[in-house]
Amino acid sequence: MKKLLTILLALVMVFALAACAGNTESTENNGNTDFSQNTEDQSATPSEEGNVSEESEQSGKTPDVNPDDTVSESDHDPEDSKILVAYFSATNNTEGVAQKLADGLGADLYEITPEQPYTDEDLNYGNSGSRSSVEMNDPTARPAISGSVENMDQYDVVFIGYPIWWGEAPRIMSTFIESYDFSGKTLVAFCTSASSGFGSSDSALRSAANDATWLDGHRFSADVSADDVLAWANGLGID
């Protein structure tokens, strides 16, 4: 009887060991399958694409760029202006008009600056001995200019602005006109004054640059609007 019990216990132990071994193998296989599926899912996540980009940047590599999506530096360079607005302004009135004109036309702006600036005493029109009075009484006076236009050849149209002095353009404007070759260019004068009209204020300038094409000039008040200045310029028929 004891032998029979021993044999039965041995058989039970054998079956129990076999069952444990089968469960262990099944558990390992299921674990490997889950890990494999998770790896495939993660390989397509945005977070990993972001990591790849960051690694490329940190390693000094740059991602491929479609050449059609790039903009060359030259595309941002503005075209050289073909219009110049040159002006002399002793009291800043003409400067304001010149600025409005240049802004409206997209033109370059150049200030005609005297080597010796004009003082209030110089501009005392009631004093026949003042600098401005002496200059305007001498048609040959040519006040010196500080600086120059770097490349006058590039401009097709030049607007020339000045205040009215004794019904004429200041002598420094003659200095400016005689300093360049305006042959083949289009010149337009404009002036500022409190009451005087444009008249023949540009006659001396026209004579000094008679190879240029001169258009009719215009007189503005100091407080003229930018719209009015641009309307006049656009009405000149300049391309």
Answer yes or no: is 4 within a domain: no
How confident is the model over 8-41, as pLDDT tens digits?
555 545 444 444 444 444 433 333 333 333 333 3
Q: Does pLDDT of 78 surpass 70?
A: no
Domain contains 42: no
Q: pTM for the whole thing?
A: 0.66
Which residues share a beta bridge with 114?
145
Task: Give the number of domains in the chain.
Answer: 1
- The average confidence (pLDDT) of the chain is 77
Query: Is the pLDDT score of 80 beyond 80?
Result: no
Residue 193 lies in a domain: yes
Print the domain residue range for 183. 83-234
CATH number of the domain that residue 206 is part of: 3.40.50.360
User: Cβ–Cβ contacts within 10 Å for residue 151, how many?
Assistant: 10
138-148 in b/e form (b: 16+ CB < 10 A) is eeeeebebeee
Residue 26 inside a domain? The answer is no
DSSP track, 166-208: TTB--HHHHHHHTTS--TT-EEEEEEE-SS---TTTTHHHHHH
Tens digit of each residue's pLDDT (9 = 90 or more) over 37-75: 333 333 333 333 333 333 333 333 333 333 333 333 333
Query: In 3D, which of 98, 96, 162, 87 has the Cα closest to residue 132?
Result: 162
- Residue 33, domain member (yes or no): no
Residue 74 counted as domain residue: no
What pLDDT does residue 195 have?
A: 83
Domain assignment of residue 43, yes or no: no
| Spatial CA neighbour of 172 closest among 142, 140, 148 | 142
**pLDDT band for position 215 (50/70/90)?**
very high
